[in-house]
Amino acid sequence: MFGDPRSSAGLNASPDYSLVGLLRIPAAQTSPWISLTRRVLFATALLFTAATVVYIGRDGYRDVTGGELSYLDALYYSTVSLSTTGYGDIAPVTPTARLANIIVITPLRILFLIVLVGTTLSVLTERSRQAFKIQRWRHTVRNHTVVVGYGTKGRTAIDAMIGDGIKQSDIVVVDTDHIALEAAASAGLVTVHGSATKSDVLRLTGVQRAAAVVVATNRDDTAVLVTLTARELNKSAKIVVAIREAENTHLVRQSGADSVVVSSETAGRLLGIATTTPTVVEMMEDLLTPEQGFAVAEREVEPGEVGGSPRHLSDIVLGVVRAGELIRVGEPAVDALDSGDKLLYIRRTGK
């Protein structure tokens, strides 16, 4: 899944324009009819601007009819000039003919030019816009989350993060599958094409300044290598890794993971519980779905709660995080809350 067909040597030092296609910044989706209307209006504004300039300096122009230029004459002159048509042996000389030329012929010329060169110009403009966006993004990205792998686990993790209030612009997806990256880009996420096992590819994501890294690959050995690379580049980021086999947990933790989720065993436990107490599984699903029902959340201990027991709070507290370690409610160590503790509690979410 994560073999990269391109060489990634020196990617982070490459100019921004060369990263177009590898690093993709999402853009707001616009209807093609709206885009076309904007182009036509812009062309019309240019036409009238040119006509006004010609009319102001009309004393410097000569009409073959010998009369003084009217604004209609100036508009006609601008029309044939901007459309690159020019005038010569055949030229309208009556106001009616010139008006017909402006109203009928010119729009047809503009539509022809749009159909003929619009696609090429659009591609060139899009590459320029992407290069500018990449340059700006690389200089401003901070405290974001890098998600390695946009399969089922990666997509579900991102949905949960967005449900918890993380902005889409603060999530970067890394994958080698173009179809997966297209789906991520359509969801408004920044994407990077390449193998996250290579440090240059991870540097493109800004992992050095990331707050968290989620490793959701399909292979445990890939997960270990990605975790090692990410930890080498960022010593303080929170790294969360999903693996398939529990026997690889110690390898991932030794590689630098802060949290490890064993997907196959977790699914197996839920399947086993569902055979006898399916309502427990339903409640677990509720707790893991932040959009509705209940959810497990974390918050700081408030000043008025210091010294008290977590069992006496209005919130249903499951555990206390003290100095980075989780202590379950009921243990003597958390009979009295300290300043700086964090509470893991159940909160009600919106329907």
Choice among 73-77, 108-112, 130-134 with the minimum mean pLDDT: 108-112
**Residue 175 confidence (pLDDT):** 94
Sign of CA dihedral 75, 81, 85, 86: positive
The tokens of 329 are what? 């409610």
Q: What is the band of 7 on the pLDDT scale with cuts at 50, 70, 90?
A: very low
Q: What is the band of 202 on the pLDDT scale with cuts at 50, 70, 90?
A: very high
**Residue 6 confidence (pLDDT):** 44
Give mean pLDDT, residues 79-97: 62
Residue recorded with tokens 């029309």: 79
213 neighbors 157 (Cβ within 8 angstroms): no
DSSP character at residue 334? G
Per the model's pLDDT, the better-predicted residue between 234 and 272 turns out to be 234
Choice among 161-170, 264-273, 298-307, 321-330 with the minimum mean pLDDT: 264-273
Q: Is the pLDDT of residue 71 over 90?
A: no
- Phi, psi (rounded to 5 degrees) for 316: -85, 105
154 neighbors 214 (Cβ within 8 angstroms): yes
279-317 confidence digits (pLDDT tens):
887 877 777 666 666 777 788 988 888 888 888 888 888
Per the model's pLDDT, the better-predicted residue between 257 and 325 turns out to be 257
**Residue 228 confidence (pLDDT):** 95
Q: Where are the alpha helices (DSSP H) in the chain?
A: 32-56, 71-82, 95-100, 106-140, 152-163, 178-186, 199-204, 220-233, 249-254, 263-276, 278-287
Total-model pTM: 0.60
